[in-house]
Structure formats: C-alpha cells, structure tokens
C-alpha cells in the first residue's frame, strides 16, 4: 500500500508505469478528491510537457492532444470537488482531522477566498498545492453559482495546464539534456509553489 502511494507521489513513476491514463487520473484526483492534495500535480504537468517532446513514445499523443486531455481532467476534477462540497456543506467544518484531511487546509483556502474573492481564487488556486484541491470543494460548500464556477474553472484549468506543460515542452528545445536534471527542477517548483501557502500559515500562527 505504502509503495503504491509512494509511486503516486513520484511524477516519473506515474508516467513510466501508468502512462497517459494514470497521468490524467492523478490530475483529476488532485483537483477533485478530498484525499488528492498530496499528489504532485505541478511537477507531473511539467514533466508531461518535457516527455511529450523528449520521449514521445511514453505519451502516445502529440502536445496539443495532451493539453486538451489534461485540461479536461482538471476541469472534471474541479466539478467533482464542487459537487462534493455542495453535498457536504457545513459538515466539512465539523469534520475531524485525519491522515487525509486537515481542517487547516480549509482555513488556508478560506483565507484566499476572503482576500481575492471566489472567482479569482479558483484561478490562483490552480498554481498552489493543497489549495487547488480544496478551492472547488469550498466553492461548493458556500454554494458559488455553478455557471460562474464553471467559467473560472475552465480559465484556471487552461492557464495551469498550458503554462506548465508549455514550459516543459519548450525547455527541452532550449536544453536537450534537461531530463538528466529533473530532480532539481521538481525541488525548485515545489519550493516556489509552497511559499505563498507557508506565508499564510506563518501569519496565522503569529497573529
């Protein structure tokens, strides 16, 4: 079980052993399932863009088809998260902490809603680990209009998928041997995307 979870958090293993369909499932799960917050969405999308150019035999689709499929998975994931939040409603606030649920994740996401509003948060959240999992759930819980939700859901998904995959795809053209240094790239991306969340957590602890 733990070995399986370890592979799910390793972008290379996801694509190498699971291929395109596991890639799409992980993107869906991270944005649509409550337990998906630990999955490596950013790194996975970046890696998919790199491999689509460097090792196309692993992806079996061209870049444009890859972007469309990943965007669809991200959009459907947010829809699933929205309807889960809509169904669960205020029960989320009384839910006890567990291995796959921490109340602080909801609180950090709520901070973004209060600061930027629900619509903008749905776009920003795509680029922030943990928050991208809980943003659509919270949108459903507070009953954001579904039509408005879908507009920003689609915008956010396209911005997230296109930007990260394009960076990966074109990095291969600039640095053909980039696949030899993926570990450093993943670490840098994790640090960059974690900084905004850590700032909020730190402010809450010092307030």
Greatest Cα pair distance in the chain: 52
pTM of the model as a whole: 0.79
**C-alpha distances in Å from residue 72, one per residue of 112, 129, 158, 171:** 25, 19, 9, 24
* pLDDT tens readout for residues 122-167: 898 898 888 888 899 889 888 889 999 999 999 999 999 999 999 9
Can you give the residue range of the structural domain that contains 114?
Answer: 2-206
pLDDT band at residue 6 under the 50/70/90 scheme:
very low
CB-CB neighbours of 58 under 10 Å: 15
**C-alpha distances in Å from residue 71, one per residue of 158, 181, 198:** 6, 26, 27
Please enumerate in sequence order all residues whose Cβ is within 8 A of that of 5, keeping only pairs 6 or more positions apart, or say none: none
Place of tokens 């991200």: 74
Residue 39: per-residue pLDDT: 75
Give which of 193, 78, 191 is closest to 140, Cα–Cα.
Answer: 78
Q: Are 185 and 178 in contact (CB under 8 A)?
A: yes
pLDDT band at residue 10 under the 50/70/90 scheme:
low
Tell me the angle at which helices 182-206 and 103-116 cross, rounded to the nearest 10 degrees.
80
* pLDDT tens readout for residues 22-66: 889 889 988 888 777 777 778 889 888 888 887 777 778 899 999
Number of domains in the chain: 1
């Amino acid at each position: 079980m733990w070995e399986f979870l370890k592979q799910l958090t390793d972008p290379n293993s996801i694509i190498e052993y699971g291929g395109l369909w596991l890639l799409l499932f992980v993107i869906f799960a991270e944005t649509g399932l409550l337990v998906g917050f630990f999955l490596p969405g950013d790194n996975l999308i970046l890696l998919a863009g790199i491999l689509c150019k460097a090792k196309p035999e692993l992806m079996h689709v061209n870049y444009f088809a890859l972007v469309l499929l990943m965007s669809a998975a991200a959009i459907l994931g947010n829809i699933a998260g929205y309807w889960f939040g809509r169904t669960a409603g205020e029960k989320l606030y009384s839910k006890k902490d567990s291995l796959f649920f921490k109340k602080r994740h909801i609180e950090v996401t709520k901070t973004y809603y209060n600061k930027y509003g629900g619509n903008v948060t749905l776009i920003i959240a795509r680029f922030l680990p943990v928050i991208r999992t809980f943003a659509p759930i919270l949108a459903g819980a507070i009953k954001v209009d579904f039509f408005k939700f879908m507009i920003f859901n689609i915008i956010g998904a396209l911005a997230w998928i296109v930007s990260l995959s394009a960076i990966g795809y074109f990095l291969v053209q600039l640095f053909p041997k980039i696949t030899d240094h993926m570990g450093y790239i993943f670490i840098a991306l994790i640090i960059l995307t974690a900084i905004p969340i850590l700032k909020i957590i730190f402010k809450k602890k010092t307030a």
